[in-house]
Amino acid sequence: MVLPNGDTLPWSIDRHPTNPVHSHGTILLGIVAALPGNDIGVRGVLDLSSENPEGGGGDNNGDGNIDGGRRFRFIHTRALKDDRTASQSQMIDAVNQCVEYGNADVIIVAMGCVNCPSDAVRDFFQRAYDDAGVLVVGAAGNQGYEGEGDDGQRYMYPASYPGVISVAAVDEKGRRMDGSNANDAVELAAHGDDVLSTFVSPQGELGYGKFGCTTQSVPL
């Protein structure tokens, strides 16, 4: 995972570390943990600044982790191929790396597919919650569907599984964004309109940009 200053995250279990060709993970991490007080870019929703009275900001104890009022470790695994597609097995493999090897507490899955329920995948996420205590947060989807549809085929997975929290997107006035799905599987909604965050261009250039809909709502 590339940070705005060109540094990479101190710990990763990406099994196929290649140069990034899209910024999906970098955008999400910037929303969560972009560092404040450096006169560039944005700040994330977590308080990792050195002004945090409970301590934090950078690698305070030399263990290679970014520390806040408590220690946070950010795990980046690769689920998408270079063409921005992934199979459900690839997604499960990436999530399982975080569960089994990363000891994750919270996992963001801002991807999925519509009308693709699987008993095996549902059971995997339920075990992650029940047995490992992992909170998985997923994107409700950006198809603009309202309701389940006449055939019940408008649900985004894995967000709509019982063991995953489904997050929809609202604008600055709290209104559902046109592109955000809304159905009875949605449990939370968060701001998702023109969210400023970090990104890496396909050419490897570092920068900032505004992004929108449920992908950006999930980390918030």
Could you read off the pLDDT of 93-118 as tens digits, one per residue?
Answer: 889 988 887 788 999 999 899 999 99
CB 106 within 8 A of CB 134: yes
Entry pTM: 0.79
Tell whether 184 is covered by a domain.
yes
pLDDT of residue 20: 55
Tell whether 18 is covered by a domain.
no
In sequence order, the β-bridge partners of residue 186 are 166
Tell whether 74 is covered by a domain.
yes
Query: CA 87, CA 91: separation in Å to the nearest integer?
Result: 6
Domain enclosing residue 191, as ranges? 24-217
Tell whether 172 is covered by a domain.
yes
Tell whether 125 is covered by a domain.
yes
CB 91 within 8 A of CB 84: no
> Which portions of the chain are predicted below pLDDT 70?
1-22, 48-71, 149-152
Tell whether 1 is covered by a domain.
no
CB 61 within 8 A of CB 55: no
Counting every residue written for the chain, the total comes to: 220
Q: What is the largest CA-CA distance in the chain?
A: 56
Q: Is 197 helix (H, G, I), strand (E, B) or coil?
A: strand
Residue found by looking up tokens 């999930």 in the block: 218
Residue found by looking up tokens 């059971």 in the block: 123
What is the count of structural domains for the chain? Answer: 1
Which amino acid is it at 100? Answer: E
- Residue 85 tokens read as 């597609």
Task: Characterise 115 by phi-psi region: left (phi > 0), alpha (psi -120 to 50), beta (else).
Answer: left
Residue 62's CB is within 10 A of a number of other CB atoms, namely 6
pLDDT of residue 68: 46
C-alpha gyration radius of the chain: 17
Report the first-to-last Cα separation within the chain, whole angstroms: 19
pLDDT of residue 90: 86
Tell whether 103 is covered by a domain.
yes
175: domain CATH number is: 3.40.50.200
Tell whether 7 is covered by a domain.
no
Q: Where are the alpha helices (DSSP H) in the chain?
A: 24-33, 88-96, 119-130, 214-217
